[in-house]
Each structure stands twice: as C-alpha cells, then as structure tokens.
Amino acid sequence: MFKKVAMYLVAALVGAGLFAAASAMSEEPQQPPMSMEEMMKKYAELSKPGPEHAQFQNCVGKWKTETKMWMGPEPTVSAGTSEMELMFGGRFVKEQFHCLSAEMPFDGVSITGYDKAKKKYVSIWFDSLSTGFMVSEGTYDATTKTMTMFGESVDPLMGPVKSKSVIREVSKDKTVMEMFMLLPGGQEQKSMEITYTRGGA
C-alpha cells in the first residue's frame, strides 16, 4: 500500500515537473527537457539529507532551558525543558519545548529542516498559547556557528508580525537563541532569549 502511494507521489511530481518544463519551453528556448529517468534520479538526489543537515545531530537530546521575556524594561525569567529528536532519517529536527513558569506555562513544538530546493533553512513553530504558526527561513554561518532566521506570524490583535531569531551554538552543550521583533521603521526590539544547556530532566 505504502509503496503504491510513494509511486503515485513520485509520478505526480515528475509529471508536474515535465508539465512545467514544457510550459517554459513554449515561452522561450530552453535546454532539452530531462527524460523521465533523469528526472527521477534528480528528485531522488534532492530528497537525500545533505551536509547542511549534519549539524542537526548535535541538537538531539534533552536540554534545560532558561527563558527571558521582555514585556517591559526588565525581563521575566523562567525555567523549562526541551527535548529534540531527528525525523525522517535526519531530514528534520523536532523540538518539544515546555516552559515551567507559573505565570505563563506553555508547551511548544518546532520542526526545522534544510530545504535543498530553496537552499535555505526552514522552520515552523506552534504552541499552546496560539492557534497559528510562525514560519521562518534563513541561513547558517558555519564560521560563527550561528543560524539567522526571519519569521512571520499573525497576532490576533496586531495582525502580521515579523521577527528575527539568532541561534548561536556556544558549545556542544550550550546554545543561545535570541529573538527580535522587527518594527515598521526597521528597528529591532529584543523580545526573548532562551539559553539551552544539555542535560534536561
């Protein structure tokens, strides 16, 4: 059953690709279209995890977290836990986040991957305090071990909200994530900082 579904999916993707190629050729001269066999090989290659996915390995495990949130001049600080695991052969990393704050306890889930077609890291986040998703994409600097993501979500009162997240690997056992709200005038306002330390309960 699953093999049939997979075959139908591949056939649909290949068919869509051939249709798109044919449409493009009708507008202006292009390279000769790939054969069905060449397209299937290309799709198979693009579906494999690449070196960009290798860094997800270090995320795996349980972490203790300290969250700082700025709702005014001074941040509120709360403890929490995070557990991360790989999905689909290392293509994605899934985080289950739990904040232990008595004032505003919540659970959140993120799924992060590297989109080989876009050549960008992509992520979605959703939690128990919202009915929507935050969708982000960005890049990774291997020299500084820093991932920079730009996200967008819809606030029930304010409408579309844009943000920037900077995730820096301090060591294999410590990571710091900073989030900034992107204001209409182009300014960045820091709204959150989470420090992850390996060894959560």
- Distance (Å, whole) CA 57 – CA 172: 10
- Per-residue pLDDT, 174: 96
Alpha carbon distance 117, 46 (integer Å): 7
Can you give the pLDDT of all 201 residues of the chain as single tens digits?
433 333 333 344 444 443 344 444 445 556 778 888 888 988 888 889 999 999 899 999 999 999 998 887 888 899 999 999 999 999 999 999 999 876 778 899 999 999 999 999 999 999 998 999 999 999 999 999 999 999 999 988 888 999 999 999 999 999 999 999 999 888 999 999 999 999 965
| Rounded alpha-carbon distances, angstroms, from residue 50 to 19, 55, 139, 166, 191 | 28, 10, 15, 22, 33
CA distance linking residue 24 with residue 29, whole number of Å: 8
Looking at residue 1, its pLDDT comes to 43
Q: What is the pLDDT of residue 137?
A: 98
